[in-house]
Structure 1
Amino acid sequence: MKNLLLLSVISLYLFSCAVKPKEKEAKPILNEMSSNFDQKLGDSLGADERGMKNYMLVILKTGPNDAKITDKTERAELFKGHFSNMTAMEKAGKLKMAGPFATKNSLGYRGIFLLDVKTEDEANKLLQNDPTIKSGVFDVEILPWYGSAAIPMHLKYHQKISKETP
């Protein structure tokens, strides 16, 4: 009888180990589709399966002639042309984000442009018209950048909350 009881307990134990409740399998995040997914919107923005796309990030740095160009009228004209070129790039659908760095930094970085172009050459062509770059007030570094394809959508909201334009 003891052997039968012992055999029953061991059998029950082994059976309970073998028949664990099935744990929910972890699925990779990339295989789950967002319940908010909008194919039409993604396609219109050029999004890949992650909702991302490639851009060119332009870093504006202090150029070799920045300190040499001290005439206030000349600088004002150069920056007027700088902002005019930014407006032209935005209207052409190429400039998706721009802005200065909030503080001075040891790298001499002054601002950024995020351009919706495929190559560095395309970015350089757009920057040729910027008088602050042509005059050497700014130098540029251009890097490929991978970010949200929805970035351009901020522009319509930014225009609604901006009282002034540069």
Structure 2
Amino acid sequence: MNRLFLLVLFGFLSLCVFGQTPNSNYDEELAKELGADDYGMKKYIFVILKTGTNKTEDKAFIDSCFAGHLSNIKRLVEEQKLIVAGPFFENEKDYRGLFILNVDTKEKAIEILKSDPAIKEDLLSSELFEWYGSAALPLYLEASDKVWKIGY
């Protein structure tokens, strides 16, 4: 019985060690530039934006904050700190949108979020999560800039 167990264990370990196949398309320079680990992944901060506690009805104030919110998004994209942003459709959880920030700690993300007027004025609040995704995600930005026809 012990021999059978050792044989099965050895077979399993062999598959784990020798069963991995190298990627013939691997670009070491690009992987290093993007901060990829051996799996082509890295940590980001995923942010869910929710309706904030500020219930003002001052339309001019709200419009000003959200204009600043959109300008801030544009600036963060240009700085490659913000990789993905977009609104949610209406939902029962008051989720308004999401960000994927190209930083590796919640502390860095909080500093970035402080620059957003809608968050600063509590029109939006945020929940932050560490997220493990493709290190190539920042490359999406170049393509995304080529597919929109009408700006905001």
TM-score using structure 2 length: 0.84
Choose from 38, 41, 44 the match for 1:55: 44
Quote the offset at 1:60 in angstroms.
Answer: 0.3
SS at match of 2:146: helix
Question: Is residue 72 of structure 2 the alignment partner of residue 85 of structure 1?
Answer: yes
- Counterparts in 2 of 1:129-140, with a 5 A limit? 129-140=115-126
Aligned residues: 139
Quote the offset at 1:30 in angstroms.
Answer: 7.2
* Residue number in structure 2 paired with 1:120: 106
Percentage identity across paired residues of the two chains: 42
Provide the C-alpha distance between the structure 2 equivalents of 1:89 and 1:83, rounded to a whole number of angstroms: 10
- Counterparts in 2 of 1:37-52, with a 5 A limit? 37-52=26-41
C-alpha spacing 1:40/1:131, structure 2 compared with 1 (3 Å): same
Unaligned runs of 5+ in 2: 1-13
SS at match of 2:109: helix
Contact 1:55–1:116 (Cα < 8 Å) also in 2: yes
Alignment-mate amino acid for residue 86 of structure 1: I
Quote the offset at 1:135 in angstroms.
Answer: 1.2
Which structure: larger Rg?
A: 1
Question: Is residue 27 of structure 2 the alignment partner of residue 31 of structure 1?
Answer: no
Quote the offset at 1:155 in angstroms.
Answer: 0.8
Provide the C-alpha distance between the structure 2 equivalents of 1:74 and 1:28, rounded to a whole number of angstroms: 60
Provide the C-alpha distance between the structure 2 equivalents of 1:63 and 1:29, rounded to a whole number of angstroms: 51
**How big is each residue's C-alpha offset from its partner over 1:57-89, in whole Å with a ceiling of 9 and x where there is no partner?**
111011111xx2223222211111001111121
* Residue number in structure 2 paired with 1:74: 61
Q: Is the deviation greater in 53-62 or in 87-96?
A: 87-96
* Residue number in structure 2 paired with 1:143: 129
Alignment-mate amino acid for residue 27 of structure 2: D
SS at match of 2:104: coil
Contact 1:30–1:50 (Cα < 8 Å) also in 2: no
**CA RMSD of the aligned region, Å?**
1.8
Q: Extract structure 1 runs of 4+ deviating beyond 6 A.
A: 27-30
- Counterparts in 2 of 1:146-165, with a 5 A limit? 146-165=132-151
Provide the C-alpha distance between the structure 1 equivalents of 2:18 and 2:144, rounded to a whole number of angstroms: 31
TM-score using structure 1 length: 0.77
Provide the C-alpha distance between the structure 2 equivalents of 1:30 and 1:84, rounded to a whole number of angstroms: 48
